[in-house]
Structure 1
C-alpha cells in the first residue's frame, strides 16, 4: 500500500515535527521513501558527536574542599558502560554524581528529538520509555542505571522484537531496582515486577480477571492451555519464577561471598525458588536450568493474545488518536501476532498502523506533550539545541518529567491531562522562554527575518508560515497584532523593539491549536 498521507501529518506524528532534513529527504525520495528508511534505521546514533560536544553544569560542595565539584561535564559520559557508572555507588560519591546521569540522558534525549535524522526511532523510544517506565528522579540508583537502560534496552529494541525487548527490560538494572526484583528470593518472592509485567508491560489491566475468577482452572480457556487473562495466582507464581534474577550490587550471597559491584545483571541460583510452578495454565517442572523459569514466563506473556491487543491499542493511541479505531487495533494485532518471531516485529506493526486510513485522517487528533512541543518548535525555527539545567527544569515543571514519573504507569497519554488550565499556562511559559532563549538553550535564527517585515501583519504571517507552512488565518493575525498593542499597516521593521516582538510572535503562533496538536 502506498503511503499517501499529508507530509505534515506524517512528520507531526512520526517525527518531532517537520524539520529541514525531513523536508529535504521527502523532496528527494518522496514520503514513501522516507517512511521505508525510517522503519530501518542504522544501529549507530547519528547524534553521538553532537551529544559528546554538549555539557551540563555539575556543582556540589563537600566537607573537604578538594572533593568539591564545579564543572561543565560532557554529556558523552552516558556512553560509558554501566560498570563505570556504578563506581559512583561503589565509592560512595555524593548523590549529585548519580542524579547527573539522569539529567545527562534527558539532555541527550532533547538533542536527538531535535537533531536526529532517525525521527521515527526517537518517537518510539519515547513511547517505550513510557511503556516500560522507571523513575530515575525518585531513586538515584535508577539514575546510575539509566544510561545503559536508554542505550542498550529501549533504543536497541525500539523497532525490533517485543519478546527480546521484554527480556532486556527484565534483566536491566534500572527495572530490577525500580520494581525491587533484585531483592527477590525463594520463600520471599517480591511481586512488584511480576505484577507490572502482567498489568502494564504485557497483558494489560483489561485482562486482569481476578474479580471474576479466583482459581486458575476457572479462567475461560485455561483447561485448554489458553487462558483469556490472568489472576493473582499467575502473578504470585511468576514472581517465584523471577527469584534469583538480580544485579551485581555487592550483596552477600552466603559463605562469606559477595556479588561484585558492577550493576550488571546476574543470576544467583541459591536465591531461586526451584520448585514446580504454574503460570497462565502452563505447568513448570521443578529444577529447571538457570533462568529457564523466568524466560518461560516471558515467552508466555509475549505470545498471549491479550498482550497483542493491549500493546497495539497503546501504539494506536500514541500514533493516531486517543480513541482507537477497533478495526485498526484488530489489523495491528494481526500483524503483531503473525510477525512475533521476526526481528523487526515492532517496525512491521507500526508500518501497518501508519499506512491505515485512520492514521491518514488523524491530523490534529493528539495534543503535543511538552517534549513534543519543545522539539517541534525548535525544529521549526532552527534552534541548535544547547541543553541547560534551566530548560530541563522547565520541562519537568511542565508535567513531563523525563525519566522521573513516579508511578510505573508512565505519563498519561490522553489529551485531557495535557489541557488542564495549569498545564496550558506551563506550555505557554515554555514557548515564551524558548522564543526569548530564556534558559540559554539555543536561539532561533529566523526572528531577524520576521523583524524585517514592513508591517506587523506581515511579520505575524511570516512567523506562522515558519511554524506551520501555510498562510496565517486572518483571525490569528488580528488577535496577535492587537494583542501586542500594534496596528495593521503601521511601520514595523523600523521599530527598536521589532526583534523582541518578532520572537513574541513566534511564541504566540506556536500557542495556536494548529501548532499545539499533531
Structure 2
C-alpha cells in the first residue's frame, strides 16, 4: 500500500527526469512499510481512481502572369481554443545527448514502427524484421499499395455521423490509427492536423472537418506547395481564420499571417507589409454554399509587393513565392524532423534535409525517406526521447496488446484529460509537444488509462492477458517478464530493471507454481506497472 499523494509526486518527477521503471518499483517497495490511510491505493489496479483533470491548456515571379484559381477537390477539419506564442523559426540548438547508433535490429524496428506509425504488436515487429529495415520503410512510404479495406469496414459498420458529431469523428480517427495498414499515412494526417490547425469549436457541424481530414489523408505524402494551396481553399480553414468572405476593400489578414508564421516560414521572417500585401492576393477567396468560391469582383487585381517580389499576384502566386524562400524548406524540414526524431536538431542535419526537400520539388515523401533512413533517426538521442502524445499512447497500447476495440466513449474519454482532443487543438499553434504533454493532471490521466487497460473489459478493452502467454514455454518468472517486455518495450530493458520486475512478480506469486499462479489479476498488476513507467510513456 502507498499514499496517493506520494505516488503522484513521484510519478510526476520520474516522468520529468526520465527515471526508469526500476526506480518506480523501488519507491513503491520503500513505501510498502508506511501505515496506510483511507487515501492509500493498492498496487493492484482493481479499480480506477476518480481523478478530475485540469487541461493546460524568392525570386520575382512574372508580373504579367496570373494563376487561375481552381476549385478545391477536398475539404476540411475541426477545432478552436486559446492562443499561444509560436516558436521562433530558428530555435537555439542544444548539445547532442547521445549520438551512439542503435544496433539491435529489434529495438531499431520497434523504434521505427512507433515513430513512423503508432507502434506494433510483437507479431508485427517479427514480420517486419523478416522483411528488413529498407523494405519496411518502402512499405510505410508506398502506403497506397497496402489494402486498408478492413479499417474502412470497421468504420462503416458503426454507422457514424461524421458530419455533425465530433465524438464520431474522433472515433473514426482513432480506429484508423489503431487498425490501419497504412500507419505512416495516418501519422502524417495527425501531423498535418497539428500543424495546419483548424478546430471544431469554431468550425462547427457540417462536412468541413471530415473534408479536411480527407484532404490531409490525400495529401499526406504529396508536394507541400500543393497542400498549402489546397488548405487555402479548405472550407474549415476559411471558417477557422475568418475568411468566409474576403473583400478587396477590407482584406482578411488572418490567413496570410498564419500561412507564413505557422505553416511555412516561422516567426520573424516577414514584415507586416508582407502580411498586408499577401492578404490582398487572397481577396475574393471565400465560401459559397459550404464550398470554396472565387468571387472575382472582390479580388484585388492590383500589383503587390511581397517578400521583395513585385507582380499582380493571387493566392497561388503567394504560395509559390513562399516556397522559394530558403527559410521555408528549413522550417518544414525542422518541423518534420522534430516530430519523427528529436528536438533541436543540428544545423547540418536541417541543411541536408532542406536540400533534399528543394531538390525533390518540395516532396514530403523525399523528406520523410531522408529522415527515416538517416543515422540520426536511429541514435540514442532519438530513441525514446519524446513523450508519447495521448493519441500515440492510446493507439500504441491497443496495437501492442492486440486489443479488440470499437473505441467506445470509455476509451475516448481519456484523450481530452490527457491534453489532446482530436479535431480540437487548443489554439492556432496546435497541440502541445513532448514535455508539454506532462503535468500533474495529464500524467494522472495517463495512469488512469493504462490502469483501465490492464484491468481489461470485454466491451472496451477486449483481450486475454493469460492466453497471451503459452504456459508450456514458461519455466521461470524471467520468461514472463521477457514476454511482456518484448511486447511493451521492444525487449529493451537493463538486467537490473528486469531483476526488479522478476522480484516483483515473485512477490505476487509467493512460491506458487507458474502454471496456476499466473492469474489475470497478477498479470494485470505487472502490465500496469510496466505501462505506468516512464520507459513506456516515451516514444
User: Could you say which TM-score interval applies, normalised by the shorter chain?
Assistant: 0.7 to 0.9
Q: Which residue does 1:93 correspond to in 2?
A: none
Q: Which residue does 2:375 correspond to in 1?
A: 357
Say yes or no: does 1:186 pair with 2:208: no
Structure 1 CA distance for aligned equivalents of residues 364 and 287 of structure 2: 28
1:1-150 aligned within 5 A: 6-19=108-121, 22-23=124-125, 25-42=127-144, 45-55=148-158, 74-75=159-160, 78=162, 85=163, 98=164, 100=165, 102-141=166-205, 144-150=207-213
Q: TM-score, normalised by structure 1?
A: 0.76
Say yes or no: does 1:327 pair with 2:348: yes
Deviations 1:226-254 (A, max 9, x none): xxx31011111111211111122xxxxxx
Displacement of 1:485 in angstroms is 6.8
Displacement of 1:162 in angstroms is 0.3
1:230-245 aligned within 5 A: 230-245=270-285
Q: Which residue does 2:460 correspond to in 1?
A: 441
Displacement of 1:478 in angstroms is 3.3
Say yes or no: does 1:468 pair with 2:489: yes
Contact 2:505–2:526 (CA under 8 A) maintained in structure 1: no
1:368-379 aligned within 5 A: 368-379=388-399
Change (3 A) 1:469 1:144: same
Q: Which residue does 1:400 correspond to in 2?
A: 420
Displacement of 1:302 in angstroms is 2.0
Displacement of 1:23 in angstroms is 2.7
Q: TM-score, normalised by structure 2?
A: 0.73
Deviations 1:304-330 (A, max 9, x none): 211111111111111111221222111
Displacement of 1:371 in angstroms is 0.9
Identify which of 425, 442, 445 aligns with 1:423: 442
Identify which of 326, 331, 334 aligns with 1:310: 331
| Aligned residue-pair number | 429
Say yes or no: does 1:284 pair with 2:311: yes
Displacement of 1:477 in angstroms is 5.6
Deviations 1:357-403 (A, max 9, x none): 11110211111111111111111110123111232221111101111
Change (3 A) 1:23 1:241: same
Q: Which residue does 1:64 correspond to in 2?
A: none
Identify which of 286, 294, 297 aligns with 1:267: 294
Structure 2 CA distance for aligned equivalents of residues 246 and 383 of structure 1: 45
Change (3 A) 1:376 1:412: same
Deviations 1:55-92 (A, max 9, x none): 2xxxxxxxxxxxxxxxxxx13x54xxxxxx5xxxxxxx
Q: Unaligned 5+ residue runs, structure 1? A: 56-73, 79-84, 86-97, 209-228, 249-260, 286-291
Structure 1 CA distance for aligned equivalents of residues 150 and 276 of structure 2: 43
Displacement of 1:169 in angstroms is 0.8
Change (3 A) 1:47 1:408: farther
Contact 1:367–1:517 (CA under 8 A) maintained in structure 2: yes
Displacement of 1:195 in angstroms is 0.9
Change (3 A) 1:437 1:269: farther
Deviations 1:492-516 (A, max 9, x none): 6546x92133223222212223322
Structure 1 CA distance for aligned equivalents of residues 503 and 189 of structure 2: 39
1:138-217 aligned within 5 A: 138-141=202-205, 144-151=207-214, 153-205=215-267, 208=268
Deviations 1:479-502 (A, max 9, x none): 68649972553346546x921332
Structure 2 CA distance for aligned equivalents of residues 8 and 282 of structure 1: 47
Say yes or no: does 1:501 pair with 2:522: yes
Displacement of 1:179 in angstroms is 0.8
Contact 2:148–2:181 (CA under 8 A) maintained in structure 1: no
Change (3 A) 1:483 1:26: closer
Identify which of 508, 512, 521 aligns with 1:486: 508
Change (3 A) 1:182 1:45: farther
Contact 1:456–1:487 (CA under 8 A) maintained in structure 2: no
Contact 1:382–1:446 (CA under 8 A) maintained in structure 2: no
What's the RMSD between the two structures over aligned residues? Answer: 2.8
Change (3 A) 1:480 1:470: same
Structure 1 CA distance for aligned equivalents of residues 150 and 169 of structure 2: 13
Contact 1:457–1:481 (CA under 8 A) maintained in structure 2: no
Displacement of 1:180 in angstroms is 0.9
Change (3 A) 1:474 1:26: same
Change (3 A) 1:485 1:423: farther
Displacement of 1:283 in angstroms is 1.5
Change (3 A) 1:484 1:144: farther
Q: Which residue does 1:82 correspond to in 2?
A: none
